[in-house]
């Protein structure tokens, strides 16, 4: 039996859209779910906040006091949040992560569409949580451009989810033109 020594830390992998093509890349972001930990990182500033995704309420608190500390920071949104109250305040976020606590919970799809169409958010929009292959193409159509597939699933297998639907009758957040108008 052959063993391989790990010489460096391996980062989690995510799928990102590069020129509309899904590719697997190292995840440069750290999602901080604990609010106390997030507040501690804000107090220490500097590298502790680089590529960190904070709970949305902590992100907004920090933004009110010192927006410069959030230079390379993102916010994550739980599906039960009334995000329309503060969605306009997220325009400066480098990344917004929308949590899918369960495969059956579709609220994140609505959040993504509204962020892209109603609020004009143009940054990285990532699906996190219970993200599975069957959802990926639908998530892309709602405006997601980054996907953190559930850790117990194969990310290379998940890539196939983008090529399973080849004809789209309805318009979407990326191209609102329906099929009959594309002829």
Q: What is the pLDDT of residues 45-95, one digit of tens each?
A: 656 678 899 999 999 888 876 766 677 889 999 999 888 888 888 988 999
Examine residue 6 and state whether it is found in any structural domain, yes or no: no
Q: What is the pLDDT of residues 113-152, one digit of tens each?
A: 999 999 999 999 999 999 999 999 999 989 999 999 999 9
Other Cβ atoms within 10 Å of 87 Cβ, number: 19
Provide the domain limits for residue 137: 13-181
Examine residue 22 and state whether it is found in any structural domain, yes or no: yes
Measured distance CA(64)–CA(72) in Å, rounded: 16
The total number of structural domains that make up the chain: 1
Measured distance CA(115)–CA(25) in Å, rounded: 24
């Amino acid at each position: 039996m052959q063993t391989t020594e790990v010489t460096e830390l391996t980062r989690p992998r995510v799928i990102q859209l590069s020129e509309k093509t899904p590719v697997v890349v190292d995840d440069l972001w750290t999602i901080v779910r604990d609010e106390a930990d997030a507040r501690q990182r804000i107090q220490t500033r500097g590298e502790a906040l680089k590529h960190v995704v904070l709970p949305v309420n902590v992100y907004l608190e920090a933004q009110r006091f010192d927006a410069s500390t959030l230079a390379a920071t993102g916010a994550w949104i739980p599906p039960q949040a009334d995000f329309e109250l503060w969605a306009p305040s997220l325009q400066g976020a480098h990344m917004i992560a929308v949590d899918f606590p369960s495969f059956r919970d579709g609220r994140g799809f609505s959040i993504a569409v509204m962020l892209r169409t109603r609020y004009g958010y143009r940054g990285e929009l990532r699906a996190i949580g219970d993200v599975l292959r069957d959802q990926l193409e639908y998530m892309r159509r709602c405006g997601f451009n980054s996907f953190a597939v559930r850790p117990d699933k194969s990310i290379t297998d998940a890539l196939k989810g983008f090529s399973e639907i080849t004809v789209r009758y309805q318009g979407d957040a990326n191209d609102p033109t329906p099929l009959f108008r594309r002829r």
